[in-house]
Structure 1
Amino acid sequence: MVRSLYTRVVLIFLASVIGGTLISFLLAAWIFEDKLNENLQIPMIYFGQDIARMYGTFPADEASAYVSGMSQLKMYNLRFFDETGEYESFGEPNEYQPATVTKEQINLILNGDVVQVNRGVVSTTLVGLPFTSNGETKAMFIDQRTPTSNTLAIQFLLNFSIYTLVTGSLVILVATKFLVNPIKKLTDATRHIAGGNFNIRLNIKQKGELGALAQSFEEMTRDLQQVEQLRRDFVSNVSHEVQSPLTSITGYAKALKQMNLPDRERDRYLDIIISEAERMSKMSDGLLKLSLLESQSQQLQFSTFSLDEQIRRVIVALQPQWSARSISFELQLKPIQMEADYDLLNQVWTNILGNSIKFSNEGGAVTVSIRQDSRSVIVRITDTGIGISPEDQRRIFERFFKADRSHSRQNGGSGMGLAIVKQIVMLHSGDIRAESESGKGTSIIITLPLKPPTGQANIT
């Protein structure tokens, strides 16, 4: 079995062209066979009729002498048969083998019939005619010695077809190589990707389907490279985030083994161990939650509710945090009814408002506003806290990322909150972005559709 695509394309082309050419030639020859043979026989019949008239007009000796010098004998062989089968030949060269004439054909002509015999498609033709010489009826047979113009034309077309096939085969060998090379590059590239090498450049300049395939392949390679980098970063971040609390737990657990440790110190060490264990638990819960959201195994439970009322409830629930730091709230909440997953959105507002409180200065303020257009609602939450640098703004929605690690550790942050928020917003076909300036606070803008996208279940 031929496995090479290049060889397959070449063989299919050759088989198609050669087979198609032969079938077309044979079909055309079969359709026009009678017409072509008729065109070959007409000049032979006219020539024979002229010979017959000559023998009917002049004495046999004079007519034979004249016929012997005719230029047409270069093209035709002429034979005269009598009743006994004896014949007289004109213009027959030694190397020429004339067509065979049977006794039945001679008798048919002597009885006044005309015989026309084809020895192939547009090939040598035999024509027999009766004529009278010196009162005796004889059979005249004319057969073709040299190819006619029709035969030469057929031979030219046949040769032309052969040359075309040869030339076309050479061209298709080169053209197929040009066609198959990009596919070979793609095959080699897939082997590199399977081996873990994503740094691939195909350099395929073709347009059309192959060019689009190559471009899509390179885009896929870049995406895979990013996924692989994210995987490595994830493993590195998890290892780092887990290692820190484990180190603390191990160190303070060993310190608790001291026999003469004061009760006050023992309680402090236990509080630290509990705090680090809780931080690990939160991080584990956050990873599990984010994994469920990213795999979309958690189905959205849509219901209709008042968005402004939901945000107010979240602010009230967070009162112990913001009142302890004398943080005030400015609310610009218009009554808005929307369809969404109530519990997931409740987590969005809890995480964002919690961050706003956590990173605001003592006595600061948090502003929450809602704006609505024909299809969506825009929630803007702005604090007057420490702000986020431009470099960090691009990464704040990544898992484990902490723009201010000192605040995050002090408040038990795991770096998972905003990653979860972004995934929830995306599941609702919404958008989230941040606007911030170091030392001047941060604004988080969330855009959500008022109704679930078409195709998502609406469960009340």
Structure 2
Amino acid sequence: MFKFHSIRSRLTVNFLAIIAAVMIITSLFLYNQLERFFVNNMLDSLTRTGIEAGESAAGLLRNPIDITLRLSAHADSVSRLAGARVIFVNSQMEVIADSVRVGGLLGQTLDREEIATALAGEVGSSVLVSELTGQRVVQVAVPILGEGSDVIGVVFLSGSLHELYGGDQMPGILGRLRNYLLLAMLLAAAVVGGGSVLLARRFTGPLEVLAKAARRMGEGKLDQQIVVSSRDEIGYLAEQLNIMAARLNYYTSSLKHFASNVSHELRTPLASLSLITKSMKDYDMEPEQRKEFLDDLDQELDRLIALVHDLLELTKLEEGIKRTVTFCLAELLSEMAAQLTPRFERQDVRLVTDLPPLPVWVDGSPLLIRQAVHNLLDNALNYTSAGGWIRISVWLEHRWTGVKIEDTGIGIPEKDLPNLFERFYRVEQARTREAGGTGLGLAIVKETILAHGGKIWVESKEGAGSAFYFTLPLHRSVNNN
């Protein structure tokens, strides 16, 4: 079973984890850098002290009289100055002076790696734990140079790092620093934790609004509109959700309206069919009367078939055009005009064409475009009186071609123009003229043009005729040229 985990809690935990990781890494880095700084600083200080002490000891070693006494006094002086133990060693690694008088190493051989390095002419150093005190110490061995730069002895210094590391009872500098860092981490964690909660709440607040709106939409309440308060991705998501809700609401309303219209359109012919069949069943009729009823029955069936056909056409158009070809629009219109001219002449209406001399290539379904133009011409012919005219013209504009079908008919009331292409919409004048049709012709024309990537609109003035316009994108090669 799905278990809900809020984004707010996950964001808070993630923020805390990231901040904690950064602080731990930063603290460890700072701790190690400070430790290295203090140790290196002590090494440098002891090395400088050893060099100065070695220069002084070199003069003392030239006079062997009371050398041990004089070097021991010098070792005491340097030890007090440097705060470290000072030992002088001759070239045979024998201790000839030690700042520690009682329990010192005077007279003993001090065989250490640092001293061996110093006897070779280099400064030797090390950081280790003393075997005697158990504390960390820094040890430096500096060569004492005689005349001719020969190594005649070594100054060995050993300084304690107790002040830096401390002991069990009293923490050193690094110990206190570690405690301060831990305290700072705890305080920062508290501050960052509170800030993370506030930040997560600020970030997830709009998402919760979106979630509530989406839940209400899922319950069928499609009139939801979210206030867009930001221009970031969440604001964009809210805007798109508003658009989706508006479209769903529109399509739902359209579907209800469409179902209502279909039921209304079906009710009349079905009622007529029911009345005709009951009349033929219940009453004895003369052959002529029966034929008249059968003709009425045939007309109502034709109307139903036409309605179903138009509904299927609309459904297909909404699914898009699956197969397209490149065809010449001007040639198609010219052929249609030639085929329809006799019919127009029988009704004393002139059909005029104004087509470009050059081919006009478009992509799409010539059959659907032919049907759309045929519907527009049928409408124009139905509402144009004898002696009038209908003109088909084509124009080119950049990447588009346009078709205009205008007539000298009765025109369309201004109040009907916005709804003219809606399904089952009929102008009142059209009903009074009993022009027939299913009320889907112009809706099919609109869907056909939209499916081809074009636009369609109408201009009309009541009593002064109408002009229908639609555009289609030109074929790609034509666009490139």
Query: TM-score scaled to structure 2, two decimals?
Result: 0.71
Deviations 1:202-230 (A, max 9, x none): 22412211111111111111111111111
Asked if structure 2 preserves the Cα contact closer than 8 Å seen for 1:334 and 1:370, the reply is yes
Deviations 1:371-401 (A, max 9, x none): 2345333221112222222232112222222
Alignment of 1:35-184 (within 5 A): 35-39=37-41, 56=73, 82-83=102-103, 102=132, 113-118=156-161, 122-124=164-166, 156=180, 158-184=182-208
Give, in whole Å, the separation in 2 of the partners of 1:4 and 1:270. 70
Is 1:205 aligned to 2:247, yes or no?
no
Counterpart for residue 139 of structure 1: none
Asked if structure 2 preserves the Cα contact closer than 8 Å seen for 1:402 and 1:408, the reply is no
Match of 2:8 among 1, 6, 29: 6
Gaps of 5+ in 1: 73-78, 86-98, 126-142, 456-460
Give, in whole Å, the separation in 1 of the partners of 2:48 and 2:474. 96
Secondary structure of 1:237's aligned partner? helix
Deviations 1:25-84 (A, max 9, x none): 21332344222234478899999x99xx9x949xx9xx9xxx9xxxx9xxxxxx988329
Counterpart for residue 27 of structure 1: 29
Is 1:247 aligned to 2:271, yes or no?
yes
Give, in whole Å, the separation in 1 of the partners of 2:177 and 2:282. 114
**Which one-letter code corresponds to 1:206 in the other structure?**
S
Asked if structure 2 preserves the Cα contact closer than 8 Å seen for 1:182 and 1:204, the reply is no
Give, in whole Å, the separation in 1 of the partners of 2:333 and 2:133. 117
Instruction: Return the offset for 1:189.
Output: 1.6
Q: Using a 3 Å threshold, how does the CA distance of structure 1 residues 117 and 244 change in structure 2: closer, same or farther?
A: farther
Q: Using a 3 Å threshold, how does the CA distance of structure 1 residues 27 and 14 change in structure 2: closer, same or farther?
A: same
Match of 1:414 among 438, 455, 474: 438
Asked if structure 2 preserves the Cα contact closer than 8 Å seen for 1:308 and 1:336, the reply is no
Give, in whole Å, the separation in 2 of the partners of 1:417 and 1:372. 26
Gaps of 5+ in 2: 54-69, 84-98, 106-128, 141-153
Counterpart for residue 348 of structure 2: 326
Give, in whole Å, the separation in 1 of the partners of 2:375 and 2:133. 115
Asked if structure 2 preserves the Cα contact closer than 8 Å seen for 1:429 and 1:453, the reply is no
Give, in whole Å, the separation in 1 of the partners of 2:14 and 2:155. 56
Q: For the aligned residues, what is the CA RMSD?
A: 4.2
Give, in whole Å, the separation in 1 of the partners of 2:169 and 2:41. 13
Match of 2:359 among 325, 337, 342: 337
Q: Using a 3 Å threshold, how does the CA distance of structure 1 residues 410 and 273 change in structure 2: closer, same or farther?
A: farther
Give, in whole Å, the separation in 1 of the partners of 2:253 and 2:416. 18
Q: Using a 3 Å threshold, how does the CA distance of structure 1 residues 409 and 33 change in structure 2: closer, same or farther?
A: farther
Counterpart for residue 285 of structure 1: 309
Instruction: Return the offset for 1:185.
Output: 1.4
Is 1:426 aligned to 2:450, yes or no?
yes
Q: Using a 3 Å threshold, how does the CA distance of structure 1 residues 189 and 237 change in structure 2: closer, same or farther?
A: same
Match of 2:334 among 295, 309, 316: 309
Secondary structure of 1:35's aligned partner? helix
Counterpart for residue 75 of structure 1: none
Match of 2:395 among 371, 375, 393: 371
Give, in whole Å, the separation in 2 of the partners of 1:264 and 1:104. 131
Give, in whole Å, the separation in 2 of the partners of 1:450 and 1:272. 46
Q: Percent identity?
A: 24
Instruction: Return the offset for 1:307.
Output: 4.1
Asked if structure 2 preserves the Cα contact closer than 8 Å seen for 1:200 and 1:221, the reply is yes
Q: Using a 3 Å threshold, how does the CA distance of structure 1 residues 290 and 406 change in structure 2: closer, same or farther?
A: same
Secondary structure of 1:394's aligned partner? helix
Counterpart for residue 147 of structure 2: none
**Which one-letter code corresponds to 1:333 in the other structure?**
L
**Which one-letter code corresponds to 1:309 in the other structure?**
S
Q: Using a 3 Å threshold, how does the CA distance of structure 1 residues 270 and 45 change in structure 2: closer, same or farther?
A: same
User: More deviation in 345-354 or 303-312?
Assistant: 303-312
Counterpart for residue 18 of structure 1: 20
Q: Using a 3 Å threshold, how does the CA distance of structure 1 residues 332 and 34 change in structure 2: closer, same or farther?
A: closer
Instruction: Return the offset for 1:112.
Output: 8.0
Instruction: Return the offset for 1:197.
Output: 0.9
Asked if structure 1 preserves the Cα contact closer than 8 Å seen for 2:409 and 2:464, the reply is yes
Secondary structure of 1:257's aligned partner? helix
Count the aligned residue pairs. Answer: 402
Is 1:444 aligned to 2:468, yes or no?
yes
Secondary structure of 1:410's aligned partner? coil
Deviations 1:419-459 (A, max 9, x none): 1212222232222110012222211012223326999xxxx
Alignment of 1:269-284 (within 5 A): 269-284=293-308
Q: Using a 3 Å threshold, how does the CA distance of structure 1 residues 119 and 390 change in structure 2: closer, same or farther?
A: farther
Asked if structure 2 preserves the Cα contact closer than 8 Å seen for 1:314 and 1:346, the reply is no
Asked if structure 1 preserves the Cα contact closer than 8 Å seen for 2:162 and 2:172, the reply is no
Instruction: Return the offset for 1:144.
Output: 11
Secondary structure of 2:165's aligned partner? coil
Give, in whole Å, the separation in 2 of the partners of 1:103 and 1:429. 91
Secondary structure of 2:323's aligned partner? coil
Give, in whole Å, the separation in 2 of the partners of 1:185 and 1:270. 63
Instruction: Return the offset for 1:240.
Output: 0.9
**Which one-letter code corresponds to 2:35 in the other structure?**
E
Query: TM-score scaled to structure 1, two decimals?
Result: 0.74
**Which one-letter code corresponds to 2:132 in the other structure?**
T
**Which one-letter code corresponds to 1:124 in the other structure?**
G
Give, in whole Å, the separation in 1 of the partners of 2:32 and 2:241. 52
Secondary structure of 1:199's aligned partner? coil
Deviations 1:358-377 (A, max 9, x none): 12234432232232345333
**Which one-letter code corresponds to 1:36 in the other structure?**
F
